[in-house]
A and B are shown apart, each in its own frame.
Chain A
Amino acid sequence: MSNRNLEELLQSAGGPVKLLRNSQIGPYVYPVVPPEFTSWRDEQMAWQHTCVLFNQSFHMTDMYIQGSDSLKLLSNLGVNSFKNFAVDKAKQYVACSHEGYVIGDAILFYLDKDLFNLVGRPSVHNWVQYHCETGEYNATVERDERAAARQGPLMRKAYRYQVQGPNAPGVIQKLIGKPVPDIKFFNMDAFTIAGRKVRALRHGMVGQPGWELFGPWTERDDVRNAIVEAGKEFGLRQVGSRAYSSNTLESGWIPSPMPAIYDGDKMKPYRQWLSANVYEATASLGGSFYSDNIRDYYSTPYDLGYGPIVKFDHDFIGRAALEKMAANPKRRKVTLVWNPDDATNAIGSIFQDGPHAKYIDFPSAVYSTLPYDKVTKGGKTIGVSTWSGYSFNERAMLSLAMIDAEYSEPRTDVTLVWGEEGGGSTRPTVERHKQSDIRVTVAPVPYSEIARTAYRTK
């Protein structure tokens, strides 16, 4: 274990697929937050019917980017347009490799003149930091790692909460003591809550109005207590770590693209810059989709549903490749709805002797950092399924998938292969099991009725 960087680690592991598929990292955790406050069913119902408090203070990496060249740095790496980007706005920031495959995505907050915060899984942070440090930019980065990547007492710079759901406006109005200001989606405002200054991003994670609230770490309890107290009359539920990650099944964001950095000479200096214990080195790859070629796991912005945010109004890494792809994107993001009988048979197999299906945990059935399950039609692989889990709101097992455009029409019947080959890999989250074919039906993204009609009508 004396590898000095990711490139060396890949050499000694025999390639990226082998490395990631046998990662010993264990469960991808949503740390610190209790598993359940009431029950995961009740908590899921609340985000569709009343309102919820998501505590996002622990599972994401924050990276502050500061300096007169920060916008230039971000613009050189991001597929997004930066034309109208200004203080108090935010973006779903997406960065790609030279060949146009996604390295990662995160929320980018324009906090102040020459000051940004990037929040999410760290693959895009690493890429931005690399360019900041090795390029000619008048910018600096400061990282505040997610809880899973740190040791010792848990101190972060900022708390991060979301208040979401149909009753969220009522709760916010009560907290700030005045009507809720009409700010646009992904724009920011400042509130006073419990006497504390709180910054607020207008957000709507599950197709309902909502706000993401953040402020100094030391004020986290005051603000949280105030939200919980104010939320009582509105049926607010705190969401535990088990329900939390399942909300994206209803809203349709894929949290887990394979970072497109593992191959190619052009990326080699970056892999040599990355240390041997970063996210990209320890992430676990799981599921029924197998290829020895890591490139088969890469996604384009179009696969992930980010097509509309790719803007060729600036120069950025991957532009030339994306300009070619833009004309004819091959895959589309869809929701897959599992056949109830097949889902039941898979779950029910653990109540019988003999080999059983890969256990389906509720509500999140994800068992790796990067879930990749095979989607087939007539025996032919037509795409990959990523995030899977159960929605009590929809009374269904759902998966977010990227499949060939010709099969992406709603109500198309396809098959999802659940479980790994050969009894399963050696990863700690995988017990011995057999694979099972699950019939699934293609549905739109986002899946939830409300999300389908109201989400992002800017």
Chain B
Amino acid sequence: VSYKNLEEAIRAAGNPVKMLRNSQLGPYVYPVVPSEFSNWRDEQRAWRETCVLFNQSYHMADMFIEGPDTIKLFSATGINSFGTFAVNKAKQFIGCNYDGYVIGDAILFYLSKDSFVLVGRPSIHNWVQYHAEKGGYKVTISRDERSVARDVPIVRRLYRYQVQGPNAPQVLNKLNGGPVPDIKFFNMGEIKIAGRKVRALRHGMAGVPGLELWGPHEEREEIRAAIVEAGQEFGLRQVGSRAYATNTLESGWIPSPMPAVYSGEKMKPFREWLSGNGYEATAALGGSFYSDNIEDYYLTPWDLGYGPFVKFDHDFTGREALEKIAKNPKRRKVTLAWNGEDVTKIFRSMFEHGQDPYRVLDLPLTNYASLSYDKVLTGGKTVGFSTFSSYSYNERSMLSLGILDNEVAEVGTQVSLIWGEEGGGSLKPTVERHRQIEIRAIVGPVPYSREARESYAEGWRTGKK
């Protein structure tokens, strides 16, 4: 069945929650890149101890926006300040709906005068494109969709790599044939690799300097080969698709907010404009947090840790609502460290006959939906969500990025999360029949540091009672 637009798809399903929860999309893939180059444990270790090459050329949508009204368009749809935005700078661009809930976020690159590219999950691309088309902005838009298909030739406009980790500066200096220019965080410059000019965004994970590099797709292999070659003496590892997405557990970015587009009369024209088989219509919702009201899944910029980006120095969609929320944000982003003994019980259940196992933890990336929402409890009361989750070999722990009520968000607080879905599980292809299990977890900071669980918390790691 295909629907003309999102609004029709929702109407046919009866409820957006129902639609998303039983999505038949299958796994959320990080395509093309091999699963593992060496092994995912050592690939994770390398971003902490030596350095890595992330190949980000395939899993994100690029949208190129050009024209004299571009800044005006971004300013009208983004919560960010554009006061000092200039060529060779980039931003974590965030768009909200009229009620101040996040539609999506992506990296916005200011490439040259009136020329930008927006890179990320496509919900924010769609929102910006919609306004560009409906709002009479003098801009042109061209999209380069992420690759989901596999065994057909995949041609994109750009390659996109990151070189990250403590040894990244040495690798980059070597490639550049001299010190790389001193570029500030989220500013852009240019370096030389294999005789080619390569544009570079200063980026970093958990405080360690790195660069994001891009250029024409047809140069991808020679650039990649040069990075791998130069990285050899510095312990560089290429990161495969199984480890890739798990790096965000250590850096703290939540990749998967529910796009706040499914409800409200004011958003209806947008839903009618959106495709009936796009990201918003096909995304899979998974986890133990249940509500029939889609708005219970919506997140504010503060929930996601974007509070500091919200700037009331311009007019934008959602401003009024956000001005109210700003006075008293209710929730905070945290990292949850899962109790190792409880996690091990999940594995033990895979060897039992006669009853369904607990929801299997597929390591290292344990998400089984595009949008992961697990319930977090204290004393039987729901106090927030656990979203993206993965195992970290660096921390020897399951971690998840949580959004918790302020009262329970203090580092060291003990909470629990429910892993698995109700009633044996939803109809998603990634979900086999399973039982739910309660997992104890300790609240930690974002980005994560094991300090938290070792010195603050009582319990299983510290032996404190």
- Please give the residue numbers on chain A whose beta carbons come within 8 Å of chain B beta carbons, in ascending order: 26-27, 29, 32-42, 45, 153-154, 241-242, 340-341, 343-344, 347-348, 350-353, 356, 359, 361-362, 367, 390, 392, 395-397, 428-431
From A32, A34, A353, contact of B396 by CB (8 A): A353
With a cutoff of 8 Å between Cβ atoms, the chain A residues found around residue B241 in the complex are 35
A45-B432, A351-B398 given as contacts; is B35 within 8 A of A35 (CB)?
A: yes
With a cutoff of 8 Å between Cβ atoms, the chain B residues found around residue A37 in the complex are 26-27, 429
Are B351 and A39 neighbours in the complex by a CB distance under 8 Å? no
A242 to B35, CA, bound (A): 10
From B27, B368, B393, contact of A350 by CB (8 A): B393
Are B151 and A344 neighbours in the complex by a CB distance under 8 Å? no
Give the contact-size bracket for chain B. 35 or more
With a cutoff of 8 Å between Cβ atoms, the chain A residues found around residue B429 in the complex are 37-39, 42
Given A153-B153, A351-B343, A362-B363, 18 new contacts (CB under 8 A): A29-B34, A33-B150, A35-B27, A38-B430, A39-B360, A39-B429, A40-B362, A41-B432, A340-B348, A340-B352, A348-B340, A352-B396, A359-B39, A362-B360, A395-B350, A428-B37, A431-B41, A431-B45
With a cutoff of 8 Å between Cβ atoms, the chain A residues found around residue B350 in the complex are 390, 392, 395
Smallest CB-CB separation from A224: which chain B residue?
B151
Determine if B328 is an interface residue (Cβ-Cβ < 8 Å).
Answer: no
Determine if B99 is an interface residue (Cβ-Cβ < 8 Å).
Answer: no
Are B397 and A351 neighbours in the complex by a CB distance under 8 Å? yes
Are B351 and A396 neighbours in the complex by a CB distance under 8 Å? yes
The 8 closest A-B pairs by CB, nearest first: A351-B340, A340-B351, A348-B344, A428-B38, A38-B429, A431-B41, A344-B348, A41-B432
- Closest CB-CB distance, A80 to chain B, in whole Å? 34
Are A42 and B397 neighbours in the complex by a CB distance under 8 Å? no
Interface of B is mostly: loop
Smallest CB-CB separation from B398: which chain A residue?
A351
A350-B396, A352-B340 given as contacts; is B347 within 8 A of A359 (CB)?
A: no
From A32, A39, A431, contact of B368 by CB (8 A): A39
A39-B27, A41-B432 given as contacts; is B347 within 8 A of A26 (CB)?
A: no
With a cutoff of 8 Å between Cβ atoms, the chain B residues found around residue A347 in the complex are 344, 347
With a cutoff of 8 Å between Cβ atoms, the chain A residues found around residue B368 in the complex are 39
Determine if B422 is an interface residue (Cβ-Cβ < 8 Å).
Answer: no
Smallest CB-CB separation from A31: which chain B residue?
B34
A367 to B38, CA, bound (A): 10
Smallest CB-CB separation from A428: which chain B residue?
B38
A400 to B152, CA, bound (A): 36
Residues of B300-345 at the interface with A, using a CB-CB cut-off of 8 Å, are: 340-341, 343-344
A37 to B150, CA, bound (A): 12
With a cutoff of 8 Å between Cβ atoms, the chain A residues found around residue B344 in the complex are 344, 347-348, 351
Are A431 and B39 neighbours in the complex by a CB distance under 8 Å? yes
Are A39 and B430 neighbours in the complex by a CB distance under 8 Å? yes
With a cutoff of 8 Å between Cβ atoms, the chain B residues found around residue A428 in the complex are 37-39, 42
With a cutoff of 8 Å between Cβ atoms, the chain B residues found around residue A242 in the complex are 35
Smallest CB-CB separation from B344: which chain A residue?
A348
Are A348 and B26 neighbours in the complex by a CB distance under 8 Å? no
Determine if B458 is an interface residue (Cβ-Cβ < 8 Å).
Answer: no
Are A348 and B352 neighbours in the complex by a CB distance under 8 Å? no
- Closest CB-CB distance, B75 to chain A, in whole Å? 40
With a cutoff of 8 Å between Cβ atoms, the chain A residues found around residue B41 in the complex are 359, 431
With a cutoff of 8 Å between Cβ atoms, the chain B residues found around residue A350 in the complex are 391, 393, 396
A340 to B391, CA, bound (A): 22
With a cutoff of 8 Å between Cβ atoms, the chain B residues found around residue A35 in the complex are 27, 35, 241-242
A350-B396, A431-B39 given as contacts; is B340 within 8 A of A395 (CB)?
A: no
Query: What 1/0 flags go to B172-209 for Cβ under 8 Å of A?
Result: 00000000000000000000000000000000000000
From B29, B38, B153, B396, contact of A351 by CB (8 A): B396
With a cutoff of 8 Å between Cβ atoms, the chain B residues found around residue A153 in the complex are 153
With a cutoff of 8 Å between Cβ atoms, the chain A residues found around residue B343 in the complex are 348, 351
A347 to B361, CA, bound (A): 12
A41-B360, A351-B397 given as contacts; is B432 within 8 A of A397 (CB)?
A: no
Smallest CB-CB separation from A359: which chain B residue?
B41
With a cutoff of 8 Å between Cβ atoms, the chain A residues found around residue B391 in the complex are 350
With a cutoff of 8 Å between Cβ atoms, the chain A residues found around residue B242 in the complex are 35
A38-B430, A153-B153 given as contacts; is B351 within 8 A of A397 (CB)?
A: yes
- Closest CB-CB distance, A314 to chain B, in whole Å? 42
Are A34 and B362 neighbours in the complex by a CB distance under 8 Å? no
A344 to B357, CA, bound (A): 13
From A27, A36, A343, contact of B27 by CB (8 A): A36
A350 to B350, CA, bound (A): 17
A395 to B351, CA, bound (A): 5
With a cutoff of 8 Å between Cβ atoms, the chain B residues found around residue A341 in the complex are 348
A34-B29, A340-B351, A348-B340 given as contacts; is B39 within 8 A of A430 (CB)?
A: yes
Query: What 1/0 flags go to B374-416 for Cβ under 8 Å of A?
Result: 0000000000000000010100111000000000000000000
Are B352 and A26 neighbours in the complex by a CB distance under 8 Å? no
Are A362 and B362 neighbours in the complex by a CB distance under 8 Å? yes
Q: Which of B31, B35, B242, B368 has the most CB of A within 10 A?
A: B35
A438 to B239, CA, bound (A): 31
Determine if B124 is an interface residue (Cβ-Cβ < 8 Å).
Answer: no
From B35, B39, B363, contact of A367 by CB (8 A): B39
Determine if B465 is an interface residue (Cβ-Cβ < 8 Å).
Answer: no
